[in-house]
Structure 1
Amino acid sequence: MPAPTNMPNRRTQPARILLVEDDKNFQQLVASELQEQDHRILTASSIAEARYQLEEADARIDLILSDLRLPDGSGETLLAESRQLRPAPAFIALTAFGSIAQAVELLKAGADNFLTKPLDFEQLHICVDRALEYRQLKLEFEATRHKSPEGDFHGMIGNSPRMRTLIYEIRKVAATREPILLLGESGTGKELAARAIHAESRVSAKDFVPVNCAAIPAELIESELFGHEKGAFTGAHQKKPGLFQAAAGGSLFLDEIGELSLELQAKLLRALQEGTIRPVGASSEMTTDARIIAATHRDLRRDVDEGRFREDLFYRLEALSVELPPLRERSTDIPMLARHLLERIGRSFNQTTGDFAPEVIHAFRAYPFPGNIRELENIIKKMLVFSEPGQNLDRTSLPPQLQQMLPTQSPEARNTPEGTSRFNVDPPFPSLEQVKQRYLRHLIQQVGGNKRKAAEQAKIGRRTLYDILDRDKDSQ
């Protein structure tokens, strides 16, 4: 057997390789040779052991290097099974009894290469590098083929447990024709969720019609929703269909439904229960089949208790409700979301973009974002406006409220190359108490100094808010 050969000029990154070989001495020799190239080697002596390794939760295999003659069957069986994995590993077959006809059949079945024993180790390294390189190219191609990359659900970005639960709920409620109520703080993406529900529903080919109930003057909202007849009021020079008619057969999204008057709530309830509406000035009702998706950032249950929202309408909507998590409760999604926003904003500005420095991502994840995704988007817009095209966005680009979330760097860390810096922090991160205090100070500023509103937004009592702020004063 040729002596092992060192290959210092490798083109591929270290990979996870499953070596399936029943000859223990040969297995150890090949494993040692591949480990010299920094590959991580998992071993198996049979098809059964190989299956176990492939089923392990953390065993994402990049390449299978397998003998064809194994104690419990042929390596061709393992090749066929490996083609069903997603993503499928590369596969190189080994045998001491090879023929050209057998090699051709293996390549047709999906193997990347075919090597005969005794091995030429230089040839082994070349084949391993080529197989891994080709697999990486295939993975990159597959990634660009799909409209929605992993973590992108109809424009909703993230794959945290909270997001996966939300996507599951959206798919479930979308399958019905019942009205849906979306709950969540301002800026959490309720309109995106409504559009996702429409896209997943059986009426996705019909129109999605959004309306912000808080943005239309009270004297015009009824006419906008239900339409009006000619002469129904001053200025009504001709008949006009409303948004219910525009959304016929599709979805009508009523954002900020909690802002509707009690009188209009009663008319909306009739549309939900009876499927009929009456345009302003009309003498008869007309049917509607628009599917209603409503949304609010308000606590409607409390509004019902205080007489600001109809109880019957609340229970009609609340039967199928979906709550969107605030950004601070899915901080693991922030790096992916921030880069998605950066790319999208860059396209809208016709500006090439770099990336975020690691400390910026750290600050994003530490900051509580009371304005949620909308606040993150506005921050990135400002950072991009004041940056040079293609420039990476570092700590100097951050606004003051996020500067407070940065770890302190030692002089030694400042002199280390970007991407390898070490944070020497005392303490390493802000204490939980400090984060609470910074969050509440910023929140109070965002709501114009109104501490009652700040306490409501933070979902804590005013006494708790005052206690935290008092402790802040004592520590200064």
Structure 2
Amino acid sequence: MKVTQVKNKVMSAEASFPASIPSSVKSFELVGDSPAFKCVLDTASVVGSRECPVIITGETGTGKEMVARMIHHQSSRAKSVLVPVDCTTLTGQLFESQLFGHVKGAFTGAHSDSLGFFRAAEGGTVFLDEVAEIPLELQSKLLRVLQEGIVTPLGSTKSYPVNVRVICATHRDLRKMVDDGKFRQDLYYRLNVVSVDLPPLRDRAADVVLLAKHFLAKQSNLYDESPKVLSPEVVKAISSYNWPGNVRELANCMERAYVLSTTEEIGMDSLPDEIRNSRPDEMRYTHPAAVLNDGSAVMTLEEAMVSAIKAAMVESNGVKTLAAEILDVERHRLNRLINKYNIEVACA
């Protein structure tokens, strides 16, 4: 199969994306004004013009592939393709065949030569989604390609140079996987030159309604209809809900609400049951602070969190790694919370 044929197939999947990132990143559905999310966009913008590998971390549904596409389209490789690879499907023989290609007759069913994702992405970017799912015994093969910049198709003795940038994503804690012997340390350091941590939607409360309106606008454009608006009750409900499925769940919710609503104002009856029937412990605390018997006010959850972080930083003498252990959170999450709440600490 010719290189141009494979590239054309890959590029067809990117037809909806512009050749270069616009001044607004909304075409990538990277919508948000919260400090935590702006920090993500700032970091992505900085690394976009570089060639280094990037690892994007975050819970499922937070938009890791969208950030990868943003980085790609801000790079010098923007006119070439970004090839997404679902690493959860790569096992055994399929790993080498799909990533590095194969020659005709390399295995049963190999009726013709195949380039593989790395050669198909020549001059562009390979996006390894859920990179932590690559089996340990196969990680050395990926490491070799990254170190040497060459691939050898399965069943062939001939090697080919490749010029690609690698961006990875995972919802797992790779550092912990390295410590547990489940991810190669050398591969981790090869990939983790810069990390971008996407906050969950529950840490982006200020962005929920903004995102909801964005998704509703997409639906009105799709159906060429007048825009629909959210009722005050719906605004309150979606602002309080915890969104375990993150941005993907919110997008699904707004599509459902738009389709089911028969009026221009979307009401509670158009929301999924899990949002309408959310228990109090699944909702963000939005009520005024309660008062204890001694007359003192109960701290809000955010106030308690800030207080705990400050206490941990004092106890650890400003060492964030130790403070994260005291708080029983990952260090990247501690950093995000410090930035989110503008906590002034003397960090080591």
Q: Same fold (TM over 0.5)?
A: yes
Tell me if 1:166 matches 2:166.
Answer: no
1:195 pairs with 65, 69, 88, which one? Answer: 69
Contact 1:267/1:277 (CA < 8 Å) preserved in 2?
Answer: no
User: 1:251-262, aligned counterparts within 5 Å?
Assistant: 251-262=125-136
Aligned residue number for residue 267 of structure 1: 141
Contact 1:353/1:392 (CA < 8 Å) preserved in 2?
Answer: no
| Aligned-partner residue type, residue 395 of structure 1 | M
Contact 2:220/2:228 (CA < 8 Å) preserved in 1?
Answer: no
Shift of 1:350: 5.5
Aligned residue number for residue 94 of structure 2: 220
Cα 1:316–1:216 shift into 2, 3 Å: closer
Contact 1:245/1:288 (CA < 8 Å) preserved in 2?
Answer: yes
Q: Matches of 2:84 and 2:233 in 1, distance apart? A: 38
1:394 pairs with 230, 246, 267, which one? Answer: 267
Aligned residue number for residue 302 of structure 1: 176
Q: Matches of 1:406 and 1:214 in 2, distance apart? A: 34
| Aligned-partner residue type, residue 159 of structure 1 | D
Q: Matches of 2:288 and 2:96 in 1, distance apart? A: 52
Q: Matches of 1:193 and 1:267 in 2, distance apart? A: 26
Q: Which moved more, 1:209-218 or 1:375-384?
A: 209-218
| Aligned-partner residue type, residue 344 of structure 1 | K
Cα 1:236–1:247 shift into 2, 3 Å: same
Cα 1:277–1:225 shift into 2, 3 Å: same
Cα 1:177–1:148 shift into 2, 3 Å: closer
Q: Matches of 1:397 and 1:209 in 2, distance apart? A: 37
Structure 1 unmatched runs, 5+: 1-146, 408-426, 436-458, 462-476
Aligned residue number for residue 246 of structure 1: 120
Q: Matches of 2:178 and 2:24 in 1, distance apart? A: 40
The alignment partner of 2:230 has SS state of: coil
Q: Matches of 1:252 and 1:195 in 2, distance apart? A: 10
Q: Matches of 2:103 and 2:190 in 1, distance apart? A: 29
Cα 1:347–1:218 shift into 2, 3 Å: farther
Aligned residue number for residue 316 of structure 1: 190
Tell me if 1:184 matches 2:58.
Answer: yes
Aligned residue number for residue 243 of structure 2: 369
Q: Give the structure with higher Rg (CA).
A: 1
| Aligned-partner residue type, residue 273 of structure 2 | P
Contact 2:48/2:75 (CA < 8 Å) preserved in 1?
Answer: yes
The alignment partner of 1:187 has SS state of: coil
User: 1:229-240, aligned counterparts within 5 Å?
Assistant: 229-240=103-114
| Aligned-partner residue type, residue 248 of structure 2 | R
The C-alpha deviation readout for 1:59-96, integer Å capped at 9, x for no partner, is xxxxxxxxxxxxxxxxxxxxxxxxxxxxxxxxxxxxxx
Shift of 1:396: 2.1
Aligned residue number for residue 29 of structure 2: 155
Aligned residue number for residue 381 of structure 1: 255
Q: Matches of 1:406 and 1:314 in 2, distance apart? A: 40
The alignment partner of 1:338 has SS state of: helix
The alignment partner of 2:217 has SS state of: helix
Shift of 1:404: 4.3
| Aligned-partner residue type, residue 207 of structure 1 | V
Q: Matches of 1:319 and 1:250 in 2, distance apart? A: 18
2:276 pairs with 403, 408, 414, which one? Answer: 403
Shift of 1:256: 0.6
Cα 1:429–1:354 shift into 2, 3 Å: farther
Shift of 1:330: 1.1
Contact 1:224/1:243 (CA < 8 Å) preserved in 2?
Answer: yes
| Aligned-partner residue type, residue 139 of structure 2 | Q
User: 1:77-92, aligned counterparts within 5 Å?
Assistant: none
Q: Matches of 1:151 and 1:328 in 2, distance apart? A: 21
Normalising by structure 2, we get a TM-score of: 0.71
Shift of 1:378: 1.4
Contact 1:229/1:238 (CA < 8 Å) preserved in 2?
Answer: yes
Contact 1:356/1:392 (CA < 8 Å) preserved in 2?
Answer: yes
| Aligned-partner residue type, residue 276 of structure 2 | Q
